[in-house]
Structure 1
Amino acid sequence: MIDIKALWEKSETATNAWISIPNAWTAEIMAHAGFDVMTIDAQHGLANDLSVILPMLQAIATTATVPFVRLPENNPAFIMRMLDAGVVGLICPMLNTAEETAAFVKAAKYYPEGNRSYGPTRASQIYGEDYAAMANQKTITLAMIETPDALKNIREMAKVPNLDGFYVGPWDLSISLGYTKFADFEDASFMKILKEIVEVAKEHNLVCGIHAGSPQNAKIFTEMGYKFVTIINDSSALKAFAKNTLSEFQGLENNKPSRDY
C-alpha cells in the first residue's frame, strides 16, 4: 500500500479518485487505474453503509491504492466502524469549529490521543496484529472547509492536535459564500480564498486537499500548494464517456460513407 504521509513529507501530491457508485467491481476497476487514493463518498455517494462499503474496500485492497471515506457526518460510531473495516483516511464534512474538529480527530485515535474504541476486526487482519500500536500514526484525518464558519474559525481548527489537514469542498464553499456561479475557478476573489486556505494549512504544517474535478484544475491547485487533489468522479466519468460515445456514433451516422456492403 502506498504511504500517503511519506508522499506528503516529500512534498509530493497524492492523486485521488472520488467513488460514488456502490459497487465492488467498479471500485476494483478504478483502483487498478493506479490512483494513490480512492475516497468512497458515504455522504452524497450511494455507498453509505458497511455492508456495501466492505466489498468495495476488499476490491481496492487488490491494489496499492489507499482507501479513504468521506463520512456522512461527524459521527464517532461511524468513524470507528470505518477504521475497523480497514479505511486509512477520513474526510469529515460540515465542520465549523475547533471543538467539532477535535471531536472528529479524537474518535479516529486510540488513547491517549483520542477515544477510539478497540475492535479493529478487519484492520488487524490486513495490516497486522500490531495494527493498534501504529494506527494513530497511520490514520489520516482531514477536516472539510466548506462553510463561512469554517473559514472564520480555520486558524483555531488548524491547531487541533493530530489533525492531518484540510479538504476543501469548493462547490459547497462557493454556495455558502453566496457566489452565483459555483466553484468558479476563474473567479479571482474565490481563488484568493482557496489560496488563503492552503496558506493557513502550510503555516500549521498541515496538508491541504481539494475537490478539483479535473486534471487541468488539479494542476492549478497543485501549483498553488495543494497536496491532495481529487481529479475524477466515477459517476461523472461514466456519464461523460457514455454521452461522448453516443455522440460520436451519431456523428458517424450523420456522415455515412458512400459505399455499399
Structure 2
Amino acid sequence: MASHPLLQAFKTNIPAFGAWLTLPGTFHARTVARASPHLSWIVVDCEHGLIPLVPGASESIVAIQGAKSGGGPSAIVRIPATGISASSSWQIKHALDGGANGILVPLISTAAKAKEVVADSRFPPLGRRGFGSPFTHGIWDISASQYLESANESILVMIQIENKEAVENVDEIAGVEGIDALFIGPYDLSISLGYPPPSPDPHPDVEKVIQKILRAAHSSQKKWYVPFFV
C-alpha cells in the first residue's frame, strides 16, 4: 500500500533528515535526491523557490521518486499560497495530484484555516478532495484503488507557524486532527514579532517563542521542524 520514507520515520519516531529544493528541473531534483542515503524527504519549494507549481512541481516529484531503486526520498511540496489566502485549495489539489507525498502550507494562523488545509488534503468522508488524475497513483507505484484506500493515512499535512497570530493560536492549531507536523519559520516569525532575522541563531526572545511552539506540538503528539541554513 501507499508509504514513503518520511511517513515511516514519523511512525517509528526516528529523526528524519531532509533538504530544500529551490531550483526547477528534473536533473536538479534527481541530483538532490541522490546527494545522501540519509535523506528521508525533500521539500519542493514553490513558495520562495523558483519552481512553478505547474508543471515544475510534478516534474520534480517524479525525479525524486525515481532517483533510487525502490523509490527516492519523500517529496513534500510547499505550495505558494499562504495560509491567510483563500486560494490555497486548488494549489493543494495540484500538488497532491502531481504525486506529492505531503504538503507544506505557509503562514497558517488559525485552527480554522488548518482544518481547511486538512479537508483539502483528504478524500471523503474525512475531507473534500476530489479524485480524477490518471497519473497520481502511478507515481506512487500502486493501483488507483490502493491509492484511494490509503492516501488519507499516507499523505502528510504540514503547516508553518511563523507569525504573531499563529503563536497566539498555536495550541488550537496543533490540536487540529489531521495535521501531522508544525514547521517553524524562524525568519518570518522573528520579523513578525519585531526582531531581526536569525544571524545565525534567533534572538533569545524568539527562541522562547520557538520553545512554546515545540511544547504545543509535543502536547498534541505532532512532529515539529525548525529549519537551518548553511
TM-score calculated relative to the size of structure 1: 0.77
Residue 47 of structure 1 corresponds to: 51
1:101-180 to 2 correspondences below 5 Å: 101-127=114-140, 128-129=142-143, 130-180=146-196
Residue 190 of structure 1 aligns to a residue whose secondary structure is helix
Matched, 1:59 2:63: yes
3-state DSSP of counterpart to 1:211: coil
Q: 1:170 touches 1:183 (CA, 8 Å); kept in 2? A: no
Q: Matches of residues 107-256 of structure 1 in structure 2 within 5 Å?
A: 107-127=120-140, 128-129=142-143, 130-182=146-198, 184-185=200-201, 187-214=203-230
Cα-to-partner distance string for 1:207-229 (whole Å, 9 max, x where unaligned): 01122224xxxxxxxxxxxxxxx
Q: Counterpart of 2:107 in 1: which secondary structure? A: coil
Larger radius of gyration: 1
Where does structure 1 differ by over 3 angstroms across 4 or more consecutive aligned residues? 181-184
Structure 1 counterpart SS, 2:226: strand
Q: Report the Cα offset of residue 9 of structure 1.
A: 2.9
Structure 1: unaligned runs, 5 residues or longer? 215-261
Gaps of 5+ in 2: none
Code of the residue aligned with 2:131 in structure 1: it is Y
Percent identity among equivalent residues?
25
1:61 Cα offset (Å): 1.4
Tell me if the contact between 1:175 and 1:182 (Cα under 8 Å) persists in the aligned partners. no
Q: CA RMSD in A?
A: 1.6
Give the direction of change, closer, same or farther, for the CA distance of 1:49–1:180 in structure 2 (3 Å limit).
closer
CA–CA distance in structure 1, aligned partners of residues 20 and 170 of structure 2: 24
Q: Distance in 2 between matches of 1:188 and 1:152?
A: 18
Q: Deviations over 1:135-191 (max 9, x none)?
A: 000000111000000000011111211111201110110111111243652633222
Alpha-carbon distance in structure 1 between the residues aligned to 2:196 and 2:180: 32
RCO greater where, 1 or 2, for CA within 8 Å and sep 6 or more? 1
Q: Does 1:94 align with 2:107?
A: yes
* TM-score, length of structure 2 as denominator length: 0.87
